[in-house]
Structure 1
Amino acid sequence: MTTPADARTPSAADLRRWRRYLADERAEAAVYRDLAQRRSGEEREILLALAEAERRHEQHWLDLLGDQVGRPLRGDLRTRLLGWLARRFGSVFVLALAQRAEARSPYAADADATPQMAADEQVHEEVVRALAARGRQRLSGTFRAAVFGANDGLVSNLALVLGVSASGVATHVVLLTGISGLLAGALSMGAGEYVSVRSQRELLDASTPNPATRSALPQLDVDGNELALVYRARGMSPEEAATHAAEVLGAQRPYTAPIPVAAAPISASIAAEEAEDEHEAIGNAWGAAISSFCFFASGALIPILPYLFGLGGLTAVIVSALVVGVALLGTGAVVGLLSGASPLKRALRQLAIGYGAAAATYLLGLLFGTTIG
């Protein structure tokens, strides 16, 4: 493998950079191997293939360094953290972080890395993105309801508690208001999630092809059958629908020949499988409702913790805002990972939204308290 570095004597800065790349490649390969240990089948093969690609990159830097490899370095902190998470959890969150790590590859701007290596890193990003997307699909509606339920509980009850507290009412009134907001919001979220998921599943049920229809195939009029209309209604062009109907019915044989019931519309079975996958992605209505209730309640509990422990006044407001801020950063980071975006940006955005809502109600409470007084 020949690069511009072969024609010159590497500087001390070059050697340091190459050693750093070498350490990072080794660490990234270890992450993929650790993830592969928690997978099976195709996903395991893909992850091991990624680890092998990182080994090729590692060999490139070993060839450049020659006898100046020096003492082995550790990978950067971010990659080592990925490895630690992969060994203990091996979840979609690790893949989402790995996807972002691949996107930050410096090889495209480094003359000592080959164009093939830069292209590899771009492709690796897409491979990991696809694996992470599989994991996100496996996260059911119940998990989604949990994350967003907790976040809603945090924001809504913090805003409620701070607004009431700013009006100058007694601490026990603030606590009672917070508990009432917790229960009311949790019940509302649970009921809303149940209705939402149940409605989606019912819509899918109504759209899923009826498997009993295949029993009518042997009796269809081959010269004027309406099977093609089924495929046209599913989005095929008239020509495609007619061709597919002919294939299904075996129109090339005489009409008197019996048509096996097994010759059911292929697209019907595929549609049924897709509908089943969509059902799994949406989740169970009761599971989503209970999860939403519990996580909203757990999120809404955090703003009233200072009041439960006897704090009051401005001290309780500050402590409540701080603990909720930490929780908002956590839920925002999780949402960022699930959406494939920057966890830090989503965390800060979530914090800004939560604090913005709380500040608005706090100012309203101050104004309301002044007016009453």
Structure 2
Amino acid sequence: MDAVSHSPESRPGEDSTPSPHVEQPPATPTAAEIRRWRRYLADERAEGAVYRDLAERRTGEEREILLGLAAAEQRHEAHWLSLLGEHAAPARKGALRTRLLGWFARRFGSVFVLALAQRAESRSPYATEHAATPAMAADERIHEEVVRALATQGRTRLAGNFRAAVFGANDGLVSNLALVLGIGATGVSPQTVLFTGIAGLLAGALSMGAGEYVSVSSQRELLRSSEPHDDAEGVVPRLDVDANELTLVYRARGMTPEDAELRARQVIASHTTGATGPVPLVVAGHDAVGSGMAAAVSSFLFFASGAIIPVLPYLFGLSGFSAVIIAAALVGVALLITGAIVGVLSGASPLARALRQLAIGFGAAAVTYVLGLAFGAVLA
């Protein structure tokens, strides 16, 4: 998995003539170049430390991959040391975001850190940096793909219950803010708004929990119905080898006739002789979709945690326009946080996702607030 990188120094036997397509750095670097190269050097050191810290929290193949990335960052570090020479000292610190990433890596080592590392690799400036070799720019692009693949494994493990949690919290924030603002705009008493908000919280949380339970349980049942029947294994030794209908099973599941024939003969031979233990009739597999009960509880709790936020001002006795402003501000902060989390895990810009979440939430709340004002004017 380790990306191939080359030393900035030419190897024996290689043509050391600079490529006409690559702008070479000047013999004497300018002050601006020294500052820029020293920043690159510090960032390479910090990124290498991040991968080593992540490797400390991993085992097996993941650990080897992360150590390979750290070794690649060391080669890039050597490139900048070679160019800077005596200007490399004193050592400077890496970018703040890289140091924060290292802090998270040492303490958590989760998929969030890998997702942030993926974003960091995507911001590499080497594609337009004349002092970086083409191999270094290629390395950084490949590093992004390596980290993306590692982060994808974690995203897959989080997919079921995490999806229910994030969407539950977001739905609670948006729906109850819209409900509270819409009812409050009609001019009813603060107590009515409070009770309406609590009723919306309970109704929405129960609905979300029940919906997630039915959804996940139904999906698991659907996948289970595609798995081979338990009794099918028992009849394999009695099949006619010459009229091998087991081949049809594998062809129906997508194998070519040749592969299906080979697989069927292996299964029959294994079940007949028992030399190496029976080969499973069908190797069934599907992505984990999570537990129905876990998804339901997660969705209930996170919806409730989101839905309680717009009710808080009314719980503390506020009313009128001040309650509306505080509720909107609290929900806005929460929407920015949930949007940023989704952005980090998806490898996209956290700021863009946060602002999108905020715009959608406030848009829905604004519509209900205006409708509430209209109804209040009609009923007045």
TM interval, shorter chain, is: over 0.9
Give the AA of the match of 2:259.
E
Asked if residue 141 in structure 1 is aligned to residue 155 in structure 2, the reply is no
Give the AA of the match of 1:304.
V
**Matched residues in 2 for 1:201 and 1:73: separation?**
53
Asked if residue 229 in structure 1 is aligned to residue 248 in structure 2, the reply is yes
Structure 1 position 72, deviation (Å): 1.1
* Residue 23 of structure 1, aligned match among 34, 39, 42: 42
Structure 1 position 339, deviation (Å): 2.2
Structure 1 position 342, deviation (Å): 1.5
Contact 2:25–2:130 under 8 Å retained in 1? no
Q: Deviations over 1:64-85 (max 9, x none)?
A: 0011113111111111111111
CA RMSD of aligned residues (A): 1.8
Secondary structure of residue in 1 paired with 2:225:
helix
Structure 1 position 353, deviation (Å): 0.2
Secondary structure of residue in 2 paired with 1:119:
helix
**CA 267–129 in structure 1, closer or farther in 2 if over 3 Å, else same:** farther
Contact 2:228–2:281 under 8 Å retained in 1? no
Structure 1 position 42, deviation (Å): 1.2
Structure 1 position 312, deviation (Å): 0.3
* Residue 296 of structure 2, aligned match among 289, 292, 302: 289
Give the AA of the match of 1:135.
G
Q: Kindly report structure 1 stretches of 4+ aligned residues shifted beyond 4 Å.
A: 2-7, 261-267
Q: Deviations over 1:339-370 (max 9, x none)?
A: 22221111110000000000000000000100
* Residue 260 of structure 1, aligned match among 246, 269, 274: 274
Asked if residue 357 in structure 1 is aligned to residue 364 in structure 2, the reply is yes
Contact 1:102–1:121 under 8 Å retained in 2? yes
Structure 1 position 156, deviation (Å): 0.2
Give the AA of the match of 1:237.
T
Give the AA of the match of 2:184.
S
**Matched residues in 1 for 2:324 and 2:200: separation?**
17
Give the AA of the match of 2:217.
R
Contact 2:216–2:289 under 8 Å retained in 1? yes
**Matched residues in 2 for 1:89 and 1:45: separation?**
19
Structure 1 position 248, deviation (Å): 3.2
Asked if residue 107 in structure 1 is aligned to residue 126 in structure 2, the reply is yes
Structure 1 position 20, deviation (Å): 0.5
**Matched residues in 1 for 2:141 and 2:230: separation?**
44
Q: Deviations over 1:30-88 (max 9, x none)?
A: 11111111111111111111111101100100000011113111111111111111112
Name the structure 2 match of 1:125.
144
* Residue 329 of structure 1, aligned match among 323, 327, 336: 336
**Percent of residue pairs identical:** 67
Name the structure 2 match of 1:254.
none
Structure 1 window deviating more from structure 2 (286-295 vs 3-12): it is 3-12
**Matched residues in 2 for 1:143 and 1:107: separation?**
35
Secondary structure of residue in 1 paired with 2:312:
helix
Q: Which runs of 5+ in 2 are unaligned?
A: 1-7, 10-17
**CA 15–372 in structure 1, closer or farther in 2 if over 3 Å, else same:** same
Give the AA of the match of 2:148.
R
* Residue 82 of structure 1, aligned match among 101, 104, 109: 101
Asked if residue 317 in structure 1 is aligned to residue 324 in structure 2, the reply is yes
Name the structure 2 match of 1:156.
175
Asked if residue 43 in structure 1 is aligned to residue 62 in structure 2, the reply is yes
Name the structure 2 match of 1:204.
223
* Residue 56 of structure 1, aligned match among 65, 75, 78: 75
Alignment TM-score, normalising by the size of structure 1: 0.92
Name the structure 1 match of 2:4.
none
Secondary structure of residue in 1 paired with 2:188:
coil
**Matched residues in 2 for 1:21 and 1:195: separation?**
52
**Matched residues in 2 for 1:102 and 1:7: separation?**
27
Structure 1 position 265, deviation (Å): 4.7
Secondary structure of residue in 1 paired with 2:317:
coil
Name the structure 1 match of 2:30.
11
Structure 1 position 5, deviation (Å): 4.5
Contact 1:218–1:260 under 8 Å retained in 2? no
**Matched residues in 2 for 1:53 and 1:238: separation?**
45
Structure 1 window deviating more from structure 2 (229-238 vs 298-307): it is 229-238
Asked if residue 220 in structure 1 is aligned to residue 239 in structure 2, the reply is yes
Give the AA of the match of 2:360.
I
* Residue 165 of structure 1, aligned match among 181, 184, 195: 184
Structure 1 window deviating more from structure 2 (6-15 vs 308-317): it is 6-15
Contact 1:201–1:282 under 8 Å retained in 2? yes
Name the structure 2 match of 1:367.
374
Give the AA of the match of 1:158.
L
Q: What is the total number of aligned residue pairs between the two structures?
A: 361
Contact 2:176–2:310 under 8 Å retained in 1? yes
Contact 2:266–2:279 under 8 Å retained in 1? no
Alignment TM-score, normalising by the size of structure 2: 0.91
**CA 179–29 in structure 1, closer or farther in 2 if over 3 Å, else same:** same
Give the AA of the match of 1:153.
G
Q: Which runs of 5+ in 1 are unaligned?
A: 252-256
Structure 1 position 7, deviation (Å): 5.2
Give the AA of the match of 2:274.
P
Contact 1:249–1:263 under 8 Å retained in 2? no
**Matched residues in 1 for 2:52 and 2:234: separation?**
49
Structure 1 position 21, deviation (Å): 0.2
